[in-house]
Amino acid sequence: MRLLLAEDDAELGARLKRFLDRQGFAVDLFDNGVDAGHYGSETPYDVIVLDLGLPQRPGLDVLDQWRKDGIKTPVLILTARDTWQEKVQGLQKGADDYLTKPFHEEELLARIHALIRRNTGAVGETLVVNGLELDEATQSVRRGDEHWQLTGTEFRLLRYFMLHPGHVLSKSRLTEHVYEQDADKDSNVIEVYVNRLRQKLGSDVITTRRGQGYVFEASS
């Protein structure tokens, strides 16, 4: 899953990026409202974490413009001011949740997962599709007594598949949601990782639609 993190505190931003990277997110970090606004409009992120106190362009203005432009990506706002007025403003502008600084990283992660589940229609802490159980905490997958540990890219790819069962997902779409901005986005690499998942989970779990992309089967 690909995440936009807009935070102008360099130390906090770097720390949150490292933490979210470890949790299996492809994170693009921006330290001002102009860049965050541009990339949030042009890139199909799965979730956005937006600090309201951004330089160059305030977070509320950025959020307001996204919603006016029809950007429906779930947005969690961060605020250093524990005032009910700012929280209300953020929600009125289209935010889906908020978190007041200082906060625990685990709470941020839980809220991000909740937004993703709400946006995709998934329920529960563990993704379960077609007999497969994806454990986000350990980045592993289980089917009955079988258990496989996943690499970071395998985990991000399988999580995206399992959040969109039965959908035809093109290589370009998968590339956009699995890799962060500065990564080498060679779509042919997606085929390599799909084959790795098939070797672990079975060749029938992910099918190929020639000329269209891949489908993670919702049922066998």
CATH number, domain with residue 24: 3.40.50.2300
Mean pLDDT of 25-49: 96
Q: Could you give the residue ranges of the DSSP H alpha helices within the chain?
A: 10-22, 33-42, 59-68, 84-92, 105-120, 152-163, 171-178, 188-201
Top-ranked range on mean pLDDT: pick from 53-62, 79-88, 118-127, 174-183: 53-62
Is there a single domain that holds both residue 11 and residue 111? Answer: yes
Last residue of a domain, one of 102, 120, 138: 120
Is there a single domain that holds both residue 87 and residue 142? Answer: no
Look-up: residue for tokens 């990339």?
A: 39
Q: Are strands 168-169 and 132-135 parallel, antiparallel or unpaired?
A: unpaired
Eight-class DSSP state of 52? S
Range of the domain at 22: 2-120
For 58, other C-beta atoms within 10 Å of its C-beta total 14
Sign of the four-CA dihedral 13, 18, 19, 24:
positive
Are the beta carbons of 197 and 158 closer than 8 angstroms?
A: yes
Is there a single domain that holds both residue 72 and residue 180? Answer: no
Is there a single domain that holds both residue 115 and residue 9? Answer: yes
The string of pLDDT tens digits covering residues 163-217 is 999 999 999 899 988 887 766 656 678 899 999 999 999 999 999 999 999 999 8
Is there a single domain that holds both residue 12 and residue 110? Answer: yes
Q: How many domains does the chain have?
A: 2
Eight-class DSSP state of 23? T
Looking at residue 123, what is its pLDDT? 55
Query: 17 Cβ partners below 8 Å, 6+ apart?
Result: 5, 27, 29
Q: Are strands 2-6 and 127-129 parallel, antiparallel or unpaired?
A: unpaired
Q: What are 85's two structure tokens? A: 């007025």
Is there a single domain that holds both residue 86 and residue 152? Answer: no
Last residue of a domain, one of 120, 139, 165: 120
Looking at residue 183, what is its pLDDT? 61
Cα 213 to chain centroid, rounded: 20
Sign of the four-CA dihedral 60, 63, 68, 74:
negative
147 or 120: which leads in pLDDT: 147
For residue 158, what pLDDT band results from cuts at 50, 70 and 90? very high
Last residue of a domain, one of 96, 120, 144: 120
Are the beta carbons of 1 and 156 closer than 8 angstroms?
A: yes
pTM score of the predicted model: 0.77
Are the beta carbons of 141 and 134 closer than 8 angstroms?
A: yes
Tell me the one-letter amino acid at 147: H
Is there a single domain that holds both residue 96 and residue 175? Answer: no
Is there a single domain that holds both residue 156 and residue 188? Answer: yes
